[in-house]
Amino acid sequence: MPKPDSLQGSLDLLVLKILSRRPRLHGYAIMTAIQQMSGDVLRAEEGSLYPALHRMEEAGWVRAQWIVKDTGRRARLYELTPAGKQQLASEESRWQAVTAAVNRVLRTA
Amino acid sequence: MSLWSRIANVLRSDRLSREIDEEMQAHIEEAVEQGRDPAEVRRAFGPALRLREESRDARLIVWLDSLRADAIFGWRQLMKNKVASAAAILSLALGIGACTSAFRLIDALLLRPLPVAEPQQLYALVRQGVDPEGRFGTFDGWAYPDFMLMRAAAGGQADLIAVSYSERADLTYRSDEEMEKAYVQYVSGGMFSSFGLRPAAGRLLAEDDDRTPHAHPDAVLSYDYWEHRFGGDRKVIGRTFRMGNDLYEIVGVGPERFTGTEPGTMIDVFLPTMMHPGVTRPDWTWMRTLARVKPGVAFEPLRAKLDATSRAFEQDRAKGFHGMSQKDIDEFLNHPLLFEPAAGGESDMQSAYRTSLLALGVLVALVLLITCANVANLMTAQASARAREMALRVSIGAGRGRLVQLVLVESAWLALLAGAAGGLFAWWSAPVAVSMINLPANPARLFLPADWRVLGFGLALTVAVTLLFGLAPALRASAVQPVSALKGGEDPHARRRLMHALIAVQTAFCFLVLFVAGLFVATFHRLSGRPTGFSADRVLTLETVARRPQQPVYWDQVTEHLRELPGVESAALASTTLMGGWSWNNSVSVNGAPPNGVLGYFMSVSPGWLATMRIPLIDGRDFRPGDTYPGSALVNETFAKAYFKGANPVGKSFDMVFDQGRTAHFEVVGLVGDACYRDVHEPTLPQAYYPFTALDRKGVLQVKAMDRGMFMVRTSLANPLALAATLRREVPRAWPEFRVSNVRTQLEINQSHTVRERLLARLAFFFGIVALVLAGFGLYGVLDYSVLQRRREVAIRMALGAHAGHVARRVTADVFAMVIAGALAGLALGFASVRYIESLLYEVKPTDPQMLALPSLIILAAALVAALPPVIRTVGIDPATMLRAE
């Protein structure tokens, strides 16, 4: 197994959060959602997004489904599983704890 | 669930790759629709292959996937060389199958514990010493009164259990006309509870059945017999059957897997020891003694206590011996008692076949090793052909471990296929081997389960075989140096050294197998070719029992009746058959002198018996009506040598001396030819024959009625058994009290003595041929390979004017040196191992020149035949074409 890169934790969190708001998105939509919601500050690279999605799928946090779009092309839609919801909650609280800690350091130092 | 889906993804990995690609494609199209630059999107993805790998790795188990890929590749590799693969698989299958089969037999007969509670606590009591024939060994027979004393002496330290030798008895559930055979074992009532067994129906024998001689006519059926004979009918409890003069009641059925304590015989009916006719006899050893030693009990004090008890019993008994010298008595008493582990039971078949099965096991293991060497050479040769492929794999980044895996997986394919085929072979062949040691009158029945023990052995063997033939080629292949291999110039000698060493090993094992096979075949030939002194052709033996003991006159009447039947040449009566296994011996005294220590062997025969058996009358006359016991005797030549110093004994007399000092006086009326009395392996014994008509001690004609006899009928039919049904019918017709309980041909009785030797000779011969063929193919393969490797060198030599013969010698010289070295090593192995199988040989010396010459010549001839095609190929090389092609 390749080592998880340092951004992976936050990428997972963003993907899970987006899927919790808007179920059944394909990869491109998730990518644009991250971009729009962050006001163009954050960009998920395709090269990281898909392996992350597939990893989360194997971990059972998201599930995927092939659908046929109006154009006749197939697309793979992702949605959150109950396990994913739990994961999101714990990731979110961890993120809060980390950012709170970082903020404390920034304030007091 | 996740693990499972990852395993599942390994199996559909192509589809997985396609899906990942498709998703990527959909993404790019989506992006382009949104107005992004296609090239820029593609760049954003990074290298497509890397992405796909990463996604794949997330979604499946990496090592399993690589294994899958190797398995597919290995399968293709096998399919590429279909003939070579098939040959390798078949020979391996034969080897694995034969080994598994041998293991099944050894396990079932010797290793498998009895299905009882705590079998490891079970021991058999044996005595060790010299028997009356002067052979050293252990004896497991005991007299019941001795057993009772020992049981009392053992107290709470051990449960002592009496189990009789199994008997094939006649019993009937209805009338005497419907007698049937069943295996009967007399056992202590306490056996079942001590073994922790529970009845499948009714009750089992209990300690209450051990109280009074002849007062407990209760019988327990074995589960197997209950199923076969009664279809598992519960109403069988309470039914009765008659055996001899006793009426037994069936009280229960034993547990499912328990078939008695004698592996090789499945007991049908268990009876209490109290019902055995010898239960009160101090001089009748008819049973084994098993001991269940309580945990924590010290062995030596217990052994010493039982030994002292038994010795005191025998000393007491020896006071009644007369006519035995003090030295003989001391020898008789000098039989220390020992504990032998008996977790796997204790049976005659175990002692008869222990060494044989182990010897066969070693032979088949050697054949398997020869096969492994062959396959290893094949793999090495193939690996050299694939050196460039391996080099390529290394240069694009395959690790060494990955290459070892690649080659080992291919080996595992071979071994797995061979293991599966070998399993089928073992399934079929183990019962066949058991049936080869079957006698129609005494069928061997061995419980041969195919359970985890056998399966585990087969799997372990397959893995071991894979490593054995696959590891060396795998390591060698993985050590490839890409630079030199891609240049096409790896050192070819390195490979050949391994192959040559394997050839030497193969030859050594092959020599050993052939040598041992030769010894077994010669033993069988000498034994079956040994003259028996009588003619068994067309002779039927009719074992006849009487409902109540009958006077000799009625037996004679039946003999007369049989003589007159069409198809009967002659008929006579005897107390038993020659070579039937039964024996009666006694001390003999001449002119009142003390016995000389040689035992004489006896049997009763009627007038005309000599002629029926075609035993030559050398001097004197045959019995005639009016001859009596004591009174007249016929003696054989060995008897004359043993007691009359070889002089013609006709007209002389001797006395038979009994234990209590009684004697019986006989005059020799005839001298007859030597005949084999008991066992074909023994030297001829001194024998005397008596008439049936008996006088009592005062010399008055005694009414000595017999309930059992053996009619000997020489027929005029090529197949004497065709007359069996008629004779069975005619015996009761001549006198209704009689019934024929068993009909056998004398030929079958004679052949039963060489069953073990025949089994060994046949199987060893078969595996000898297999070993030879395999070693021959191995040799051919290696020579062929080295010719292929050296054809450039050969072409250059020939171009420079070397003679064809010289070239051929050069190519084959080192291989032949290996063959000779191997044969010598095999010879040394043979000499070293021969003492383990000495007990299986008969009048065959391993040092006989022909025993050594034969395998040597056969191997040499096989080597020459195997070398011929490669040599022809070498000589046929045309230097011009060859050098141009290179």
- A11, A31, A45, A50, best to mutate vs chain B, most B CBs in 10 Å: A50
Give, rounded to a whole angstrom, the gap between the first and last alpha carbons of chain A. Answer: 39
Interchain pair A50, B24: CB under 8 A: yes
pLDDT band at residue B803 under the 50/70/90 scheme: confident
pLDDT band at residue A3 under the 50/70/90 scheme: very low
Residue B385 corresponds to which tokens in the numbers above? Answer: 């052909």
Q: What angle do CA B829, B834, B838 make, to 5 degrees?
A: 175
3-state secondary structure of B550: strand
pLDDT at A9: 62
Within 8 A of A75 by CB-CB distance, chain B residues are: 26, 30
Given A28, A51, A55, which is nearest B27 (Cβ)?
Answer: A28
Helix (H) or strand (E) holding B511: helix B492-528
Lowest mean pLDDT among A71-80, B7-16, B93-102, B152-161: B7-16
Interchain pair B26, A75: CB under 8 A: yes
List the one residue out of B657, B646, B688, B651 whose CA is nearest residue B593.
B657
Q: Which residues contact B72 (CB under 8 A, 6 or more apart)?
A: none
Closest residue in B to A47 (Cα–Cα): B45
Interchain pair A26, B24: CB under 8 A: no
The reply to whether A96 falls in a domain is yes
| Residue with the larger pLDDT of the pair B135 and B618 | B618
Q: Nearest CA of chain B to the CA of A4: how many Å? A: 11
Q: Nearest CA of chain A to the CA of B45: how many Å? A: 5
Within 8 A of A65 by CB-CB distance, chain B residues are: none
pLDDT band at residue B714 under the 50/70/90 scheme: very high
Residue B514 corresponds to which tokens in the numbers above? Answer: 């052939």
Per-residue 3-state assignment (H helix, E strand, C coil) for B167-200 = EEEEEECCCHHHCEEEEEEEECCCHHHHCCCCCC
Interchain pair A45, B6: CB under 8 A: no
The reply to whether A3 falls in a domain is no
Q: Nearest CA of chain B to the CA of A17: how many Å? A: 21
What is the average pLDDT across B664-674? Answer: 93
Distance between CA atoms of A79 and B874, rounded to whole angstroms? 72
- A8, A35, A46, best to mutate vs chain B, most B CBs in 10 Å: A46
Distance between CA atoms of B502 and B778, rounded to whole angstroms? 9
pLDDT band at residue B620 under the 50/70/90 scheme: very high
User: Looking at residue A52, which CATH number applies to its domain?
Assistant: 1.10.10.10
**pLDDT by residue (tens digit) across B448-488?**
777 788 888 888 988 888 888 888 878 877 777 776 666 65
Chain Cα centroid distance, residue B483: 55
Given B29, B51, B62, which is nearest A50 (Cβ)?
Answer: B51
Interchain pair B46, A46: CB under 8 A: yes
| Range among B23-37, B426-440, B528-542, B785-799 with highest mean pLDDT value | B528-542
Given B26, B44, B62, which is nearest A73 (Cβ)?
Answer: B26
Within 8 A of B19 by CB-CB distance, chain A residues are: 76
CA dist list (Å): B67 to B71, B76, B398, B401, B550: 6, 14, 14, 12, 80
pLDDT at B621 over 90: yes
Q: Scanning the structure block, which residue is given the tokens 């071991």? A: B464
Distance between CA atoms of B730 and B646, rounded to whole angstroms? 44
Within 8 A of B45 by CB-CB distance, chain A residues are: 46-47
Q: Nearest CA of chain A to the CA of B818: how many Å? A: 50
Note the ipTM here: 0.80
The residues facing B512 across adjacent strands are none
Q: What is the DSSP letter of B325?
A: -
**pLDDT by residue (tens digit) across B807-844?**
888 878 888 898 999 999 999 998 888 888 888 888 88
Angle between helices A27-37 and B13-33 (to 10 degrees): 50
Given A58, A60, A73, which is nearest B59 (Cβ)?
Answer: A58
Asked whether the beta carbons of B858 and B518 are under 8 A apart, the reply is no
Task: Answer whether B5 touches A (CB < 8 Å).
Answer: yes
Q: Which residues contact B424 (CB under 8 A, 6 or more apart)?
A: B97
| Residue with the larger pLDDT of the pair B660 and A12 | A12
CA dist list (Å): B813 to B4, B336, B421, B604, B818: 58, 60, 38, 69, 9
pLDDT at B783: 85
Q: Scanning the structure block, which residue is given the tokens 């009426």? A: B247
Question: How much is the CA Rg of chain B, to the nearest whole Å?
Answer: 37
**pLDDT by residue (tens digit) across B365-420?**
999 999 888 888 888 877 777 777 778 887 777 777 888 888 888 888 888 899 89
The reply to whether A2 falls in a domain is no
Distance between CA atoms of B288 and B164, rounded to whole angstroms? 6
Interchain pair A47, B45: CB under 8 A: yes
Helix (H) or strand (E) holding B251: strand B246-253
Distance between CA atoms of B651 and B671, rounded to whole angstroms? 10
Does B732 sit behind a cis peptide bond, omega within 30 degrees of 0 on the bond before it? no
Number of residues that make up chain A: 109
Interchain pair A51, B34: CB under 8 A: no
List the one residue out of B672, B466, B441, B424 whose CA is nearest residue B541.
B441
What is the average pLDDT across A74-89? Answer: 90
**pLDDT by residue (tens digit) across B415-441?**
889 989 988 888 888 888 888 776 655
Q: Catalogue the E-assigned strands of B757-822.
A: none
List the one residue out of A17, A36, A8, A29 whose CA is nearest residue A77.
A29
**pLDDT by residue (tens digit) across B752-761?**
888 888 888 9
What is the average pLDDT across B216-243? Answer: 92
Asked whether the beta carbons of B74 and B413 are under 8 A apart, the reply is yes
Interchain pair B44, A32: CB under 8 A: no
Given A28, A51, A59, which is nearest B54 (Cβ)?
Answer: A51
Domain spans of chain B, in order of start:
2-60, 70-112+350-490, 119-343, 492-531+750-886, 539-716
pLDDT band at residue A4 under the 50/70/90 scheme: very low
Question: How many Cα atoms sit within 13 Å of B244 on the Cβ side?
Answer: 11
Q: Which residues contact B468 (CB under 8 A, 6 or more apart)?
A: B369, B372, B376
Distance between CA atoms of B99 and B133, rounded to whole angstroms? 37
Distance between CA atoms of B656 and B662, rounded to whole angstroms? 8
Lowest mean pLDDT among A70-84, B464-478, B692-706, B819-833: B692-706
Question: How many CB atoms are closer than 10 A to CB B560?
Answer: 11
The reply to whether A47 falls in a domain is yes
Interchain pair A26, B54: CB under 8 A: no
Number of residues that make up chain B: 886
List the one residue out of B79, B82, B80, B87 whose CA is nearest residue B777.
B87
Distance between CA atoms of B689 and B2, rounded to whole angstroms? 86
Q: Nearest CA of chain B to the CA of A53: how many Å? A: 9
Q: What phi, psi does A62 have (nearest 5°)? A: -125, 155
Asked whether the beta carbons of B669 and B652 are under 8 A apart, the reply is no
Q: Which residues contact B788 (CB under 8 A, 6 or more apart)?
A: none
Closest residue in B to A27 (Cα–Cα): B27
The residues facing B589 across adjacent strands are B655
Distance between CA atoms of B758 and B771, rounded to whole angstroms? 19
Q: Scanning the structure block, which residue is given the tokens 């009160």? A: B280
3-state secondary structure of B270: strand
Distance between CA atoms of B42 and B63, rounded to whole angstroms? 30
pLDDT at B133: 66
Lowest mean pLDDT among B43-47, B178-182, B233-237: B43-47
Q: What is the DSSP letter of B113?
A: P
Q: What phi, psi does B205 have (nearest 5°)? A: -65, 150
Mean pLDDT of chain B: 85
CA dist list (Å): B409 to A93, B73, B403, B419: 48, 9, 10, 15
Burial class (CB in 10 A: 0-12, 13-18, 19+), B762: middle
Q: Nearest CA of chain A to the CA of B413: how many Å? A: 28
Residue B174 corresponds to which tokens in the numbers above? Answer: 């209805």
pLDDT band at residue B524 under the 50/70/90 scheme: very high
pLDDT band at residue B861 under the 50/70/90 scheme: very high
Helix (H) or strand (E) holding B353: helix B348-385
Given B20, B45, B58, which is nearest A46 (Cβ)?
Answer: B45
The reply to whether A90 falls in a domain is yes
Within 8 A of B6 by CB-CB distance, chain A residues are: 58
Amino acid at A71: T
Within 8 A of A32 by CB-CB distance, chain B residues are: 34
| Range among B594-598, B599-603, B755-759 with highest mean pLDDT value | B599-603
Q: Nearest CA of chain A to the CA of B24: how many Å? A: 8
Asked whether the beta carbons of B199 and B174 are under 8 A apart, the reply is no
Given A54, A58, A73, which is nearest B2 (Cβ)?
Answer: A58
The B residues from 50 to 69 touching A (CB cutoff 8 Å) are 50-51, 54-55, 57-59, 62
Q: Is the dihedral of CA B599, B604, B607, B608 positive or negative?
A: negative
Q: What is the DSSP string of A27-94?
A: HHHHHHHHHHHTTTS----HHHHHHHHHHHHHHTSEEEEEEE-TTS-EEEEEEE-HHHHHHHHHHHHH
Q: What is the DSSP string of B675-716?
A: ---S-TTSPPPPEEEE-S-EE-TTSPEE---EEEEEEEEEES
Closest residue in A to B51 (Cα–Cα): A47
pLDDT at B617: 94
Q: Is the dihedral of CA B567, B572, B578, B581 positive or negative?
A: positive
What is the average pLDDT across B628-642? Answer: 92
pLDDT at B328 over 90: no
Distance between CA atoms of B129 and B310, rounded to whole angstroms? 14
| Residue with the larger pLDDT of the pair A31 and B389 | A31
Given A46, A58, A74, which is nearest B5 (Cβ)?
Answer: A58
Within 8 A of A28 by CB-CB distance, chain B residues are: 26-27, 30-31, 34
Within 8 A of A57 by CB-CB distance, chain B residues are: 59
Number of domains comprising chain A: 1
What is the average pLDDT across A18-41? Answer: 86
Within 8 A of A76 by CB-CB distance, chain B residues are: 19, 22-23, 26
Q: What is the DSSP string of B249-313?
A: EEEEE--TT---S-TB---SEEEEGGGSTTTT-TT---EEEEEEEPTT--HHHHHHHHHHHHHHH
Residues on chain A bordering chain B, Cβ-to-Cβ distance under 8 angstroms: 1-2, 26-29, 32, 45-47, 50-51, 54-55, 57-60, 73-76
Strand arrangement of the beta sheet that strand B738-745 belongs to: B568-574, B706-715, B539-550, B738-745
Helix (H) or strand (E) holding B416: helix B400-436
Does B552 sit behind a cis peptide bond, omega within 30 degrees of 0 on the bond before it? no
Q: Nearest CA of chain B to the CA of A48: how many Å? A: 8
Asked whether the beta carbons of B846 and B827 are under 8 A apart, the reply is no
Asked whether the beta carbons of B826 and B512 are under 8 A apart, the reply is yes
Percent of chain B residues topping a pLDDT of 70? 94
Residue-number span of the structural domain to which A52 is assigned: 8-108
Within 8 A of B51 by CB-CB distance, chain A residues are: 46-47, 50-51
